[in-house]
Amino acid sequence: MSALLSHLGAGLPILAAPMAGGPSTPDLVVAAARAGGLGFLAAGYKSPDLLATQIQAVRAAGVPFGVNVFAPNPVPVDPAAYRAYAAEVRREADPYGLTLPADPIEDDDHWADKLDLLVTDPVPWVSFTFGLPGSAAVTALRDAGTTVLQTVTTADEARAAADAGVDALIVQAPAAGGHSATLTPATPPPPPPVTLPDLIAQVRQAVGGLPIIGAGGIATAADVAATLRAGAEAVMVGTVLLRTHESGASEPHKNALTDPAFDGTVVTRAFTGRPARALRNHFTDRYDAVAPPGYPALHHLTSPLRKAATAAGDTRLIHLWAGTGHRHARPEPTSETLTRLAAAL
């Protein structure tokens, strides 16, 4: 058993990834732990109060778990580019009677309050995505008894995370669904192509003995086995869990993952201003080329439209986050998905 997992009592080296915006429910996190693995709550886009409530719900189940936080790494949007993009997107919003934000909204997703919550009411694991938390934050969490992880997408990012003092790395390959964890989000997508095993090898060479969790495009038992052979102590899966019974993903999103009408995935910043992999649809086709970099401003701009489209089942306009293995997602209990993924271990 991995030393990284053993002190938590997690015997299955398969973790449920944090998926912000609804999919990572407390029920999914608990189900992953009861199947022998471990799950992460997604703090992103939640108020500190809601995050505290979800932490309490998982803690009451008596299982190990983690919390993922968006560390600030803003991409300020050019105001003129924002207004031009808002004018483009408005043609989709008008039929829904929506008023989109006229000016950019720049915030840090309650960073300080969430960090304070996790220091004063510690959880077993905390992972960071989008930015580096800084050595002071890492030290405060570690002093509170928390294992600290950082999501990285390159060897250079792994070195920076190691310098910040984290305990372990989540190495995310470009095949991952949803947002890339890149620390340079203004760089135009798509990311450089690299397989997860090759990326793990690059990171291991860069940072030596830091434990690694592999993520990105893992959808089969063979993917899991290959990632562990490459030197990861565990794997992290997200897209393959989106259709599970415990997932909080919307029904249109769940159905689209296996709908033959969707012919593949693309990396786009059209929805949020950060690169993210989604099922190709009308919105990605029409707006990716004209979307400026700008997070969180573009996230707040398109959020009302995405919510309205989801409620209406309008998959032309929904951010259908999906990794390259999305066809393997099944409508089954989380425990069955994790058991299936562990078949080759």
Tell me: do 100 and 116 sit in the same domain: no
CA distances from 80 to 77, 298, 331 (A): 9, 13, 44
Q: In the chain, what are the helix, strand and coil shares in percent, each to the nearest 5?
A: 40, 15, 45
Supply the pLDDT for residue 190.
Answer: 63
Q: Is residue 255 part of a domain?
A: no
Supply the pLDDT for residue 209.
Answer: 87
Tell me: do 164 and 195 sit in the same domain: yes
Tell me: do 98 and 139 sit in the same domain: no
Q: Are 273 and 81 in contact (CB under 8 A)?
A: no
Q: Is residue 253 part of a domain?
A: no
Copy the structure tokens of residue 48: 């500190």
Q: Residues with Cβ < 8 Å from 72, sequence gap 6 or more?
A: 108, 109, 111, 130, 131
- Going by the DSSP 8-state scheme, the letter that residue 254 receives in this structure is H
Tell me: do 94 and 238 sit in the same domain: no
Q: Is residue 68 part of a domain?
A: yes
| pTM (2 d.p.) | 0.96
CA distances from 292 to 85, 88, 92, 221, 274 (A): 7, 12, 17, 38, 9
Tell me: do 38 and 135 sit in the same domain: yes
Residue type, 172: Q
Q: Whole-angstrom Cα distance, residue 252 to residue 108? A: 29
Q: Are 76 and 53 in contact (CB under 8 A)?
A: no
Residue spans of alpha helices (H) in 94-165: 111-120, 135-143, 155-164
Tell me: do 315 and 331 sit in the same domain: no
Task: Give the HSE-up count for residue 151: Cα atoms under 13 Å, Cβ half-sphere.
Answer: 29
- We report the CATH number of the domain holding residue 178 as 3.20.20.70
The model's pLDDT over 250-309, given as tens digits with 9 standing for 90+, comes to: 999 999 999 999 999 999 999 999 999 999 999 999 999 999 999 999 999 999 999 999
Tell me: do 113 and 149 sit in the same domain: yes
Residue 172: helix, strand or coil by DSSP? strand
pLDDT < 70 regions, the chain? 1, 188-191
Supply the pLDDT for residue 104.
Answer: 98
Supply the pLDDT for residue 7.
Answer: 76
Tell me: do 101 and 112 sit in the same domain: no
Tell me: do 174 and 303 sit in the same domain: no
Name the strand (E) or helix (H) holding 50: helix 48-60
Tell me: do 140 and 286 sit in the same domain: no
Q: Is residue 258 part of a domain?
A: no
Q: Is residue 198 part of a domain?
A: yes
Tell me: do 158 and 300 sit in the same domain: no
Residue spans of alpha helices (H) in 175-245: 196-207, 221-229
Domains: count for the chain: 2
Supply the pLDDT for residue 106.
Answer: 96
Q: Which domain, by its residues, includes 198?
A: 3-72+108-248+327-341
Tell me: do 190 and 282 sit in the same domain: no
**Owner of token pair 């296996």:** 258
